[in-house]
Amino acid sequence: MQRVILCPNPDKDKDYAVTRQVRDLLEAAGYAVSVSPELLDGAEAALPEDLEGCELIPALSDAVLVVSLGGDGTIMHTASRLLGAEVPIIGVNLGNVGFLAELERGEVHRLVDAAGGDYRLSPRMMLRVQVERGGETVYSAYALNDVFLRGMGRMISMSARSDGRRILDFSGDGVVIASPTGSTAYSMSAGGPLVEPTAENIILTPICPHALASRSLVFTSDRVITVTLGQLRGRAILSADGGTFEVFSGDTLRVDKAQYRTMIAHVGDKAFYDIVYEKLGDTK
């Protein structure tokens, strides 16, 4: 029997009402359904007794679809756990904008067709980020959306390079390095361009730069982008899809294309720009 794995966010799906609704729909259609409590710190016992819990990675062996129930953060968290598996993910938006989610709460019936293969695969490039300190790698992570550096209440100075060649030396609130999928998130808010999510590019966008010439730049996916921190006068934080790590003066952030992809299951006939206007506001 083919399996569908549900990854709910209990903060978004109160009392697991939508999770139960989706489980019942899929089981009635003949699918085995398991619930992965990834956002409960692995505490399977925290699930209600009527929901069959599973460990996500072992359950992927016979899974045809992973359903993320929550917001964009839930999808990004789930993607970070599926590295290398390439099992398609489909999101049900239980949050606010939900830009990555294919379906809204009232469209969960479409998951039955999606589980049967009625979708188009939308492969998404991911980023790999490393922090180098004193010649050693002290932090490593993957991101579907973006990586950013921010000063905590003080401007920070940064030196950005592409394959070792100078891009920008500037001071400001920080910098965002985004994938095409993440171009509609923090990078856009900081003035960066919108890039079709299935493209393969690396986007660097300064955050409130204190320089006239500091603009967002789009690179091919084979570039290696480095950002070295100057002398800090306060604290600075690195975030990779929501996971945080404190960085210090002289640290170098290294970002390149990851060897992994996230496979988004795309249903319906909405194009990227239809979703942009729907989620971010149609100006017509």
Structural domain harbouring 247: 126-259
CA distance 183 to 257: 15
Tell me: do 92 and 146 sit in the same domain.
Answer: no
Note whether 114 and 132 are same-domain residues: no
Cα distance between residue 268 and residue 109, in whole Å: 13
CATH code for the domain of 172: 2.60.200.30
pLDDT of residue 45: 47
* pLDDT (average), residues 206-224: 91
Reported as a single tens digit per residue, the pLDDT across 165-188 is: 999 999 999 999 999 999 999 999
Count how many domains the chain has.
Answer: 2
Q: Indicate if 28 and 113 belong to the same structural domain.
A: yes
Answer yes or no: 72 catalytic.
yes
Task: Indicate if 110 and 144 belong to the same structural domain.
Answer: no
Identify the pLDDT of residue 40: 59
What pLDDT does 41 receive? 54
- Whether residues 161 and 237 share a domain: the answer is yes
Same domain for 22 and 102: yes
Minimum mean pLDDT range among 27-31, 212-216, 257-261: 212-216
199: Cβ contacts below 8 Å, ≥ 6 apart: 125, 180
Same domain, 130 and 254: yes
Ranges of beta strands (E only) in 71-135 are 89-93, 103-104, 120-133
Q: Do residues 202 and 230 share a domain?
A: yes
99 exposed, middle or buried (CB, 10 Å; 0-12, 13-18, 19+)? buried
Tell me the pLDDT tens digit for each residue of 51-103: 988 889 999 999 999 999 998 999 999 999 999 888 999 999 997 777 888 89
Residue 277 has pLDDT above 60, yes or no: yes
CATH of the domain at 93: 3.40.50.10330
Please write the tens of the pLDDT for every residue from 106-145.
999 999 999 999 999 999 999 999 999 999 999 999 999 9
Catalytic residue among 13, 15, 72, 146: 72
Do 253 and 131 share a structural domain? yes
Tell whether the model's pLDDT for residue 151 goes beyond 70. Answer: yes
More confident residue, 227 or 42: 227
> How distant is the alpha carbon of residue 221 from its chain centre?
17
Same domain flag for 79 and 201: no
> Do both 55 and 15 map to the same domain?
yes
249 and 133, same structural domain?
A: yes
